[in-house]
Every structure is written in C-alpha cells, then in structure tokens.
Amino acid sequence: MKIAVIGSGVSGIAAAKTLMKFGHEVVLFERSDVAGGVWALTYPDVRLQNIGDHYRFTDFDWPFPHDQHPTAEQVMRYIRAAIEHYKLDIRFRHNVTGLRETADGWMVDLETPEGKRSDAFGYVVVAAGHYTHEKADIALPGRETFKGQVITERDIRDLGVFDGKRVAVVGFGKSAIDMTVFAVGRASEVHHVFREPRWLMPKKMLGRHIAYMSSARMSTMYNASWVHPGRFEAMMHKRSPSTAKGYAAMVGFLVRLQTGISALRFDRKARARMKLVNPRDSVSMQLRGTLAPDTYYASVASGRIEPHHASAAGFSADALLLSDGTSVAADVVVLAIGFETPKLPFLPDVIRADIAANNDGVQLYRHVLHPHVKRLAFAGFAHNPFHIPGTEVSMVWLGAVLNGDIVLPSPAAMAASTIKVRDWKRANTLFEPTRAYWVSNRFHQYLDVLLMELGIKPNRKSNPLSEFFAAYAPEDYAGVFDEYRQKRGTPRPALPFDT
C-alpha cells in the first residue's frame, strides 16, 4: 500500500520505518525545511526531560556519545542519523492542506515549492506534533499599555533577553520552569506566576535515576488506570481500590522528601515560598510529568525566584497584574502557558468537529484510530516515557489491523470505548489541552493491550523478578515486529479492553 505520513518528528519516523517493514511504500510530508518536529523549534539550552537511553528507536541506538539528558542539538543529530539509517523518503516544504476521501484511499492536497498539487494514497497516518502549532494565549486587559516585552518561550533565541531585567514567567509546565530557572543569575528579579503548582519530579528517587525507577512494572502496576489488562493487577485494583491512593500518597511523600519542598530547615519566609509551590492534588492526577531542574526549589527557598500562586489578570504600564490583587513589576513577561489543542485543519470534517467539541483532544480507539474514519490513523498520540518505542508498537498493531490479523469492533463499539477512556481521564486527571493523547505512567498497561492483541507476550523480561523490579528499556520492544510475523495465523478479535 502507498501510505502518507504527515510530520517528520520522532513519531513520524517511527511510523514510517515500522510500516515499511510490512512492505508498504511510505512517504513523509514535512511542512518545514527540516525534520525533527518540536526539536527544530526549541529555545536555547533546552534538554530532553527523558534520558537518552529511553528516547531512541528500538533497533537504532544513538550512534555517538550523548549526555544523560541530551541537548536539542544532540537530539537533532540523532534524528538526522535515524532518517539516513532507515532511508526514509521525506518531502520537505510540503504542507498538507487537505484530505479528500476516495473510493480506495485519500487524495492528499499539498502546497509545495513547485506549487499546489494532489497525490493519491491508500492510507494516511497523522504524526503532526502537538507542540509545533499555535501557542496558547490569554487576553489580558492593558496589554497595549505595557511598556515591557510580552513574549513566549518560542520567541527567545538568546537568553540575554533576561539580562538585568525584571522577569515574570507565567505557567508551570516544562518550558515555564526552564524559563524561570534560566532567568536566575541573569535577571535582576525573577517572579514565577502560576494558577496551580504542579508536581516536579526529582532526577533521583531512593538513589536511582527516576527514569529507571518509573519504567519498572513495580512503579506502574499500582497506578489507578482506565485499563488493567493483567489478571493479578486487575484483581488487586478491583478488590483493593485504596491501593492506588496509598501508592500515590507514598510517591508524593517521596517526591516532597527528595525535592525538599517541605523541609523544616528553611526560615519562615522560605517555608512560605515553598508552600506556594507545593502541589495540592495527588501525584496520580497529573498526566504530564516535568523533571525538576537542580536549582529550581533551591532558588525558590533562597528567594532568587519569587513564586505567586495566582493568575495573570492584566497589565499596567510597568507591571503584570495578578488575580489576588497584587502586581509584579516587570520588564519582560514570558507567557509559557502551553499550546492550544491541535487544530490539524487538513483533517476530515468529522474529526475536526470532534476536536472542536473536546477541548482536551479528539478521542481515538487504542489512541490510534478514529472510530468513524477509515484508512486514517494517528501516530504518537499516546504520550508516555517510552514515546518512541510505544509509537513503534502502536504501528505494528496498525500494520496487523491492515493485514486483517486483528478484527476491530464496530465503529459504534470503538466510539463507546473511547468515551469510557475519555470520561475516566476527565474524572481522574488534571486538564491538559492534549489530555486525550496522554498515556503517561500507564504505558505498561497501554502497551500490554496492544501486544496481547498481536498475540505477543506482554511481559518482556526473562523472569518474574526482573519483570517486576528491573527497568524497562526500548530494546525490550525491539523484537515485536518479528514476533508478530512469526505468530501470524487466524485473525483474532480485538480484546475487550478500553484504551
């Protein structure tokens, strides 16, 4: 089959190279002149939150030495090496403007350097990044009278913008935390403004890097989740639902202990500042995890970062006005408040209607398929610590569906399944504009369902002890395609799990 993949970030690369193993002819369309997705649009000094050992394709290791948390330059170099390794066909400066359904696939409408044209494909995979589109914005009265700069992190090309300035950063995601920390030591004052504090995870827990701790099954099986495919895990959560709450409370205690949020050694003013950045929600409520920079909490405690638990409410000539009635004198205000829900205007009307109706993202069956649109899939719409290997597994699953080896439920049954997942996430996790596309630390449960439907053993370790205690790694999923190919047989129905 001839397949179009929209986007050449890591998700698009994972989709293309996996579907090529099935014998499909795959073309990637990239609207910019460089591959890499969000990594081609990063701000100075940004680093990968995950460790490099976990951020890689299952069958292609980093071909050069890299930092434990690679720089953007290192990630881009790895992406270029992967594209060459897999010999991918990427059409740069090809912007997909529309998809028109045909009897046997899609006409893909394109804007290219040579002009507009349309190409026919049997299938389309959307791998357009969630963080390469419009930045979220807020209408703040008095903005036109403010004498300073109002920017987003994407506007920053040189950290010298902070030098000697009074800086206020709005938001509590990764980019907001990065901007706040980057301003320390450069700015004359640094203020951090946020509606609610979020959990910032320490690099180490109990002496081990948190990436190795959180990837083991002992760290994921106790999480409350919309799906528990393992029999023991399902029974444990059914018979003892308090287990998940107790586990989340324990993790929260350890995070606070490791980061020093509630340390008694601070003076009264320091404790007051630290209280402002202490999350009130359970750690299990947060789908998106942000790694705490080494200096963030120390800078809050020392007063080098002044936290404000309030919303931005407006501007005066020289200050950012807050919802609690206070104001923050500022020369530079950084609105690092995330991104809008991806609009993806080229999609069919039924999906765009879903996006318009759901401010946390379109609901997808298995986080891959829209129940009511044929010959169209999504890659990378299941964010988790194993994002690249997870995307590969989901694309093997998709390839099996295309081969007829997995028989899908009816569109109505798939839609009902997506609604169950949507409702669980909305009831049990904090709002994100892309909440529908997050699997987060439920990645074992999610991938287990896909592997079980492929007829492959979900437990990837050699024995029960290592399965429970050992850290998972991308190479644990390296053989999934070959295992699937060896076990192909009678088509099997999709399992009765919602994910």
DSSP 166-233: EEEEE--SHHHHHHHHHHTTTSSEEEEEESS---EE-SEETTEEHHHHHTSHHHHTTS--S---SHHH
Question: Where a domain ends, among 335, 350, 365?
Answer: 335
CA distances from 68 to 71, 102, 203, 480 (A): 9, 47, 11, 26
| 498 domain residue, yes or no | no
Distance CA 476, CA 469 (A): 14
Task: Enumerate the H helices of 266-363 as residue ranges.
Answer: 268-276, 296-302, 349-357
Question: 474 and 346, same structural domain?
Answer: yes
Are 468 and 437 contained in the same domain? yes
Residues 151 and 231 in one domain: yes
Q: How far is CA 446 from CA 46, 53, 498, in A?
A: 29, 21, 9
**DSSP letter, residue 454:** T
Indicate the pTM of the whole model: 0.94
Whether residue 295 contacts residue 287, with contact meaning beta carbons closer than 8 Å, is answered with no
Distances (CA, A) of 452 to 192, 274, 403: 45, 45, 17
pLDDT of residue 344: 85
Same-domain status, 324 and 358: no
Give which of 332, 296, 297, 336 is closest to 315, Cα–Cα. 332
Q: Decide which of 320, 335, 350 is a domain's last residue.
A: 335
Residue 82, domain member (yes or no): yes
User: Could you tell me if 33 and 115 lie in one domain?
Assistant: yes
The reply to whether 499 falls in a domain is no
Residues 160 and 129 in one domain: no
Please give the angle made by the CA atoms of 187, 190 and 194, to the nearest 5 degrees: 150
The sign of the torsion formed by the CA atoms of 468, 471, 474, 478 equals negative
CATH number at residue 162: 3.50.50.60
In this structure, are 256 and 128 located in the same domain? Answer: no
Kindly give the confidence (pLDDT) of every residue in the chain, 499 residues in length, as a single tens digit, with 9 standing for 90 and above. 999 999 999 999 999 999 999 999 999 999 999 999 989 888 999 999 999 999 999 999 999 999 999 999 999 999 999 999 999 999 999 999 999 999 999 999 999 999 999 999 999 999 987 765 566 678 899 999 999 999 999 899 999 999 999 999 999 999 999 999 999 999 999 999 999 999 999 999 888 999 999 999 999 999 999 999 999 999 999 999 899 999 999 999 999 999 988 777 788 999 999 999 999 999 999 988 789 998 999 999 999 999 999 999 999 999 999 999 999 999 999 999 877 777 788 999 999 888 888 889 889 999 999 999 999 999 999 999 999 999 999 999 999 999 999 999 999 999 999 999 999 999 999 998 889 999 999 999 999 999 999 999 999 999 999 999 999 999 999 999 999 999 998 999 999 999 9
Look at the chain and report how many structural domains it folds into: 2
The verdict on 16 and 91 lying in the same domain is yes
Domain membership of residue 471 (yes or no) is: yes
State residue 489 phi and psi, 5-degree precision: -165, -130
- CB 167, CB 51: distance < 8 Å: no
Measured at the CA of 262, the angle between CA 261 and CA 263, to 5 degrees, comes to 100
300 within some domain: yes
Do 422 and 484 have their domain in common? Answer: yes
CA dihedral 226, 202, 200, 385 (to 10 degrees): -40
| Among 460, 329, 331, 308, residue whose Cα is nearest residue 390 | 460
Question: Who contacts 272 (Cβ-Cβ below 8 Å, separation ≥6)?
Answer: none
Position 181 in a domain: yes
Q: DSSP secondary-structure letter at 319?
A: E
Give the model's pLDDT for residue 124: 98
What was the pLDDT predicted at 51? 96
| Residue 127 in domain | yes
CB 15 within 8 A of CB 395: yes
Same domain, 322 and 358: no
Q: Which of 257, 286, 259, 284 is nearest to 196 (CA)?
A: 286
Closest CA to 369 of 356, 386, 353, 381: 381
**Tokens 């026919």 identify what position?**
120
DSSP letter for 326, please.
Answer: -
Same domain, 44 and 167: no
Instruction: Mark whether 118 and 179 lie in a shared domain.
Output: no
For 70, phi then psi, to 5°, come to -60, 150
| DSSP conformational letter for 65 | -
**Domain span at residue 258?**
143-335
The domain boundary residue, chosen from 335, 350, 371: 335
Parallel, antiparallel, or unpaired: how do β-strands 200-201 and 290-291 relate?
Answer: parallel
Residue 442 and residue 225 in contact, taking contact as beta carbons nearer than 8 Å: yes
DSSP 369: B
Report the C-alpha gap between 109 and 98 in whole angstroms.
5
In the block, residue with structure tokens 């951020």: 55
Q: Which of 456, 468, 425 is nearest to 220 (CA)?
A: 468
In a domain, 138, yes or no: no
